């Protein structure tokens, strides 16, 4: 389990923020509607992602949901009233088209459905309880999973399996998602957040510049032409190699001590 959280930076009725060392925990706080996303919540999530990226003392984020559900997707009542919970340039939930530059871990309990599944897919790692359930049921309502689900799912699991999940709209138990390698780690019920914090803590022990650059390369490289890949990687990795933190890492190794990162 993690240590007691630091003082929360900024929270609201819709979104709770807590800082645990270099980890920011972001909790969607609409349990009365299974954490469904309306426009106000999308604006808050976008602001939280900006907060994560802008704070030099934060290295990684954990996104979870209050109560027994991660996120049931779009708030359909708001949708029927003419509201769309998307932001220009950021997409659904203020996140799916522009995830943070820093690593983001989804800690999933209960349902991660439709847009909720797309939020999880926008994260870099997924920790899920054994009782969690995933799915893209949009086709059952004559909708399209256009919040990144159809774009990201085939990159996470085998193509034909992604096609089956998306075309049938069926619910996928956490164990099956774990077997498909969509879920990084599976936990006992109620332990997803604790496991995500443990993983985040391990990541946060590393150099923050290197962590951010590593995510950038891993998430971007699939779109690079093969003859440009090393040059593009070099543009990202060389500033880290020449940083004060890189020198601190080598010095700490030589002196057999824990490095003190400055983020520069």
- Please give the positions annotated as active site: 118, 138
Place of tokens 């003392």: 57
* Residue 9 burial (C-beta neighbours within 10 Å; 0-12, 13-18, 19+): middle
Tell me the C-alpha distance between 122 and 172, whole Å: 18
Task: Give the helix ranges, DSSP H, for 142-243.
Answer: 149-156, 159-168, 174-179, 192-204, 208-220, 229-241
Tokens of 67: 């109560």
Tell me the C-alpha distance between 91 and 42, whole Å: 9
Closest CA to 55 of 91, 24, 13: 24
Q: CB–CB of 111/67 below 8 Å?
A: no
Q: How many Å is the maximal CA-CA distance in the chain?
A: 63
Tell me the C-alpha distance between 248 and 241, whole Å: 11
* 139 CB neighbour count, 10 Å cutoff: 13
DSSP category for residue 5: P
Give phi and psi for 117, each to the nearest 5: -70, -40
* 170 CB neighbour count, 10 Å cutoff: 12
């Amino acid at each position: 389990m993690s240590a007691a959280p630091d003082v929360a930076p900024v929270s609201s009725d819709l979104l709770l923020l807590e800082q645990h060392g270099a980890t920011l925990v972001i909790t969607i706080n609409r349990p009365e509607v299974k954490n469904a996303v309306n426009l106000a919540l999308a604006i808050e999530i976008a602001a939280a992602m900006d907060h994560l990226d802008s704070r030099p003392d934060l290295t990684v984020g954990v996104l979870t949901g209050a109560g027994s559900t991660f996120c049931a997707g779009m708030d359909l009542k708001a949708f029927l009233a003419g509201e769309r919970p998307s932001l220009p340039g950021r997409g659904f939930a203020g996140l799916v088209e522009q995830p943070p530059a820093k690593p983001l871990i989804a800690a999933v309990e209960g349902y991660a459905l439709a847009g909720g599944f797309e939020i999880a897919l926008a994260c870099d790692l997924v920790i899920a309880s054994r009782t969690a359930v995933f799915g893209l049921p949009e086709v059952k309502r004559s909708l399209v999973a256009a919040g990144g689900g159809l774009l990201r799912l085939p990159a996470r699991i085998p193509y034909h399996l992604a096609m089956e999940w998306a075309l049938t709209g069926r619910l996928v138990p956490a164990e099956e998602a774990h077997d498909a390698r969509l879920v990084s780690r599976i936990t006992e019920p109620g332990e997803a957040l604790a496991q995500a914090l443990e993983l985040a803590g391990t990541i946060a022990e590393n150099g923050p510049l290197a962590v951010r650059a590593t995510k950038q390369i891993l998430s971007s490289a699939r779109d690079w032409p093969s003859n440009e890949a090393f040059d593009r990687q070099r543009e990202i990795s060389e500033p880290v190699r020449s940083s004060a933190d890189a020198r601190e890492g080598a010095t700490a190794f030589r002196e057999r001590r824990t490095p003190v990162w400055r983020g520069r």
